[in-house]
Homo-oligomer: A and B are copies of this chain.
């Protein structure tokens, strides 16, 4: 099956899966849409984050105004939107939406200790991204922040004059796209509702705020004691020459939870990309090493799976 709508929310896939359960009968689903830690450190993603993707609009005055004539006396929707967005995190970078963390399953100390063993070079990470410092929720490591913790990121913002030079406008409208990555046991529908209620509740009187939901999806966990995980692990061990590391990914593949719900079938995430592939960015790429390694590895999964399940 090839899914071409994944980046725009897979609007039609749910209906297709629900109406074609017989056609889609399977023992397990193999998806190659994840990354390995490095070309010499194979890994298998055993977790995915869920997603709630929102769009908000703040309206101040009913038309753009001259910022000299009205500035200071009328709520500026951009200033207000910035204040509202800023208030969604506290000083420790915790998310402030009431109830947001209620569903979150905290990892045990031993699970966190195991995760801390994942090969990770902070200096190389920062150098690759050209940043002086990582930034995130207090009390969690970079790997944890990007996998087992829920997040809230502004994906886009716009309003007012954005051309060259200056225009002294007090704009009528400001907009933002805001998405939250969710972890197992958080419900995308519930988080969407909590965000909407909270965002509307913090709007000051001088503006009108609207919130709409784009797509969402649930988080996912694949047990490492399953036949599918063992078959994938053995396949990678054969072609990479070493045991893969189980990791928890930070991205979302909403169809994985959908497949489980509708078809009752688990998915194994055996991808061969790298985090440095610049996905969702200019110059996105995929290495030939990784492409050929995938072709070489996947047949082993099928024969391993057949053997292990006999």
- Pairwise interchain contact B156-A206, C-beta atoms closer than 8 A: no
In chain B, what residue has the closest Cβ to A67?
A: B153
List A29-87 residues whose CB lies under 8 Å from chain B: 35, 49, 51, 53, 55, 60-76, 78-79, 81-83, 85-87
A149 at the interface (CB under 8 A from B): yes
Minimum CB–CB distance from A92 to chain B (whole Å) comes to 13
* Across-interface contacts of A204 in B (CB, < 8 A): 133, 135
A159 at the interface (CB under 8 A from B): yes
- Pairwise interchain contact B64-A181, C-beta atoms closer than 8 A: no
Whole-angstrom distance between the alpha carbons of A60 and B171 in the complex?
26
List A119-166 residues whose CB lies under 8 Å from chain B: 129-137, 142-143, 145-146, 149-162, 165-166
Cβ 8 A contact of A157, one of B71, B146, B159, B165: B159
Classify chain A: how many residues form its interface, as a range. Answer: 35 or more
Whole-angstrom distance between the alpha carbons of A167 and B6 in the complex?
11
A293 at the interface (CB under 8 A from B): no
A28 at the interface (CB under 8 A from B): no
Whole-angstrom distance between the alpha carbons of A7 and B165 in the complex?
10
Minimum CB–CB distance from A128 to chain B (whole Å) comes to 8
Minimum CB–CB distance from A231 to chain B (whole Å) comes to 25
A244 at the interface (CB under 8 A from B): no
Partner-contacting stretch, out of A190-198, A221-229, A249-257: A249-257
* Across-interface contacts of A151 in B (CB, < 8 A): 67, 71-72
In chain B, what residue has the closest Cβ to A54?
A: B166
In chain B, what residue has the closest Cβ to A59?
A: B130
In chain B, what residue has the closest Cβ to A181?
A: B71
- Pairwise interchain contact A157-B74, C-beta atoms closer than 8 A: no
Partner-contacting stretch, out of A98-106, A234-242, A276-284: A276-284
- Pairwise interchain contact A129-B166, C-beta atoms closer than 8 A: no
- A 3-37 to B, binary, CB cutoff 8 A, 1 in contact else 0: 00001110000000000000000000000000100
Whole-angstrom distance between the alpha carbons of A151 and B71 in the complex?
7
- Pairwise interchain contact B165-A156, C-beta atoms closer than 8 A: no
* Across-interface contacts of A249 in B (CB, < 8 A): 68-69
Whole-angstrom distance between the alpha carbons of A246 and B74 in the complex?
22
- Pairwise interchain contact B82-A157, C-beta atoms closer than 8 A: yes
List A185-236 residues whose CB lies under 8 Å from chain B: 204-208, 214-215
- Pairwise interchain contact B251-A66, C-beta atoms closer than 8 A: yes
* Across-interface contacts of A97 in B (CB, < 8 A): none
In chain B, what residue has the closest Cβ to A89?
A: B79
Whole-angstrom distance between the alpha carbons of A275 and B275 in the complex?
54
- Pairwise interchain contact B251-A205, C-beta atoms closer than 8 A: no
Interface centre among A81, A85, A154 (most CB of B within 10 A): A154
Whole-angstrom distance between the alpha carbons of A71 and B81 in the complex?
21
